[in-house]
Structure 1
Amino acid sequence: MTTMNWANDDAVIDAATRLAATLGDDANHTVAAAAMDLSGNIHAAVNNHHFTGGPCAELVVLGLAAAAQAGPLATMVAVGDGGRGVIAPCGRCRQVILDQHPDCCVLVPDNGSVVSVPVAQLLPYTYRFPDGTAERFVRFNGRYYDDIVTGRKTQTVRYLDPVPLGPTTFVFEDGEHRGFKTMLGIIDSVTPIHLTDLDDDYQAGLRSHYPRMPRDAKLDDVRFHI
């Protein structure tokens, strides 16, 4: 599983945690969720449990974000009431997020910490809705912004992090401000390679992004331009 930490994760967790803390003894509302869109806005809501199948908090957030015309969501998290902390989304929520926001990262608990995982990794071998028209984006660490905008960097190597071919939006986390910088870009090619195809220095750099990457990892060599 690919896990990464992003500068905006804490703000999203904080929004969901503060909302969860307001929930009382009503058994119909026990989970809060929050999501950040590419403009840096946070959308938060709670679940509405009912025996007929009331929606989870994550699905309520998707509707709330759609009503606000938020566009693609970058990060999603759910937090349980009563101090339960971050909880993982159910299977239905994972499928809906994947179909509607395929490039979203989901924050999940992992051995006492919270990690950010691309939603596609939460549903391996998943069914993908064939008529889905979700707006796609590719996420970059903010430190690469200057090199990409000037054309000095035209390659990235990804591990278990699908990248769409063709025109898309490049998204950079702004380490100094909440939210993201964005620019239009084009993914020219995605070529399968192996970690062992790369030199030792490149491998070491990748491990700073993907600390759990195995030695025999299969990667994608992505070429792009703006």
Structure 2
Amino acid sequence: MNDLDPSLSRDTETAGSPAIRFHPRYLEGVRSGAKTRTTRFRDPARPGPARLVFESDPEVVLPAEVTDIRHCSVSDLTDQDARAEGLTAAGELREVLKIHYPDLAGADEVDVVTFRIND
């Protein structure tokens, strides 16, 4: 946590909230609003306050709200899901998911987590 940069501070309302961890490459997309969803495999989330944690040095934590969680199979991911993740098509989303989850198959169930950053 950095006391000089408010973008690195923890919001008191979400300080004890569950963390959703991200690779730092997603930080700008989340900050800009281009990425409002994340698809997770065996990494449950719950609706309500959350902390989006970007695993960088220093670690960046953004207070957020999980507004929706949809369970579906990988093969049922849509182009709309991809666009909400800052991508263009469902096939591209599936390819990116394979980077994070190499053993992921089309029949596997995932959670599509929709969130918004708290200002």
TM-score, normalized by length of structure 1?
0.38
2:104 alignment partner, SS class? coil
Corresponding position of 1:188: 67
2:39 alignment partner, SS class? strand
1: CA distance, partners of 2:17 / 2:38:
21
Structure 1 runs (4+) greater than 4 angstroms displaced: none
2: CA distance, partners of 1:221 / 1:148:
15
CA offsets, 1:143-197, max 9 Å, x none? 11111112111011111110121111110011xx3x4111100100001111111
Q: Which has the larger radius of gyration?
A: 1
2:41 corresponds to which of 138, 159, 171: 159
Q: CA deviation at 1:200?
A: 2.2
RMSD: 1.5
Corresponding position of 1:144: 26
Q: CA deviation at 1:203?
A: 1.0
1: CA distance, partners of 2:92 / 2:29:
19
1:157 alignment partner, SS class? strand
1: CA distance, partners of 2:94 / 2:54:
22
Q: CA deviation at 1:211?
A: 0.5
Matched residue type, 2:91: D
Give aligned-pair identity as a percent.
29
Corresponding position of 1:202: 93
CA offsets, 1:68-106, max 9 Å, x none? xxxxxxxxxxxxxxxxxxxxxxxxxxxxxxxxxxxxxxx
How many residues in Structure 1 have an aligned counterpart in Structure 2?
A: 91
Matched residue type, 1:190: I
Identify which of structures 1 and 2 has the higher relative contact order when contacts are C-alpha pairs closer than 8 Å and 6+ apart.
Answer: 2
- The reply on whether 1:172 has 2:51 as its aligned counterpart is no
- Kindly indicate whether the alpha-carbon contact (under 8 Å) linking 2:75 and 2:107 is maintained by their aligned counterparts in 1: yes
Corresponding position of 1:221: 112
Structure 1 runs not aligned, ≥5 long: 1-38, 40-133
| Structure-to-structure mapping, 1:1-226, within 5 angstroms | 39=1, 135-174=17-56, 177=57, 179-198=58-77, 199-226=90-117
